[in-house]
Structure 1
Amino acid sequence: MIARLRELVRALDGLTASFALTVSEVTSPADVAEVRRLVLEYASAHADTPGVEYMHADAAALPGPYTPPRGGLWLARSADVGVGCVALRPLDDTTAEVKRMYVDPASRGAGVGRALMEALIAGARARGYETLRLGTLEEMTAAQGLYRSLGFAPIERYRPDELIHTRFFELSLT
């Protein structure tokens, strides 16, 4: 009985967090700074992953390859604090890549990742992309589950420069 009550409390906490959630495309320098903070937090959390050090340069260059009109950055906020981010960058005229998907550990399980990905997918469609691709580390099974639930399917490696323990996914937007 107590275990069930704890489950219900956790579920309610998640619902409360998701109701306070806003996701918007980044348009201001303050929002870029908040995305930068989250990207650096992600890099720190994975500091022992070989090859992750390039994320520091990527964060410093934001918005960099994610600059509109072909690219984009999205920021999730709860109580005016950034709790997640995701980026879109063009690969070619019809294909874009999902990058820098990150949700603060305290906000995971509350729908933040799904809300970010849904906003990014809508943004990619609005930009005329036909296909989205992404790579994610093998150990990120929760993220892979989210991507699959959104319609992404596993594909062969499309970026030879990505880390060796990366899985690749693709979503048709047409």
Structure 2
Amino acid sequence: MAKVRGVLGAIVLASLVGCANFTEKGLAAGGLLGAGTGALIGSQTGDAGAGALIGGTVGALTGTLVGAGLDEVDEKNKARVAAATAAPPPPPMSVADVVSMSQNGVGEDVIISTIRSSGTIFHLSTDQIIALHHDGVSNRVLDAMVATKNRVAKPVPVVYERSPVYIVEPPVRYRWGYRHHHCWH
């Protein structure tokens, strides 16, 4: 019996090497373990081949189902980790930030790139545009600021989790006794 356990352990260990996901690991381990168990049981009845075939098939199906379930859990965990560790968006820029960058000699392309990457949407009035121009903001930067009002805000990614479904069968009702049929004539 110790030899059988050692052989089965080696088979399962060998089946898990090189598999990409839990579904493949479950298929390999279940199939090999089922075939080995089926062969042992089948040898008791004199037909080890049929036992191995049946055991391998049942083991492979069961292992695949269990592995697929583990893959689904793994994907959910990866999605949660990705959502939790996602870099927060940069803070929105203010009009004062644009004026400060322009007055401190930051290039137009850098300011425009910063405006675009910040996701800020500017709603500038005519008076604000004139004031920005007097404060030294270039026409290209003003054009980039005005163009942000046509930008659509990016939605925040939300991870939805499906809740489990429970099906409860109604209880079976048994009636004991005699049935009486009444006929009215």
Q: If the TM-score is normalised by the length of the shorter chain, which range does it land in?
A: under 0.3
Larger relative contact order, structure 1 or 2 (CA cutoff 8 Å, min sep 6): 1
Bigger radius of gyration, 1 or 2?
2
- Under a length normalisation based on structure 2, what TM-score does the superposition of the two structures give? 0.23
Q: TM-score by structure 1 length? A: 0.25
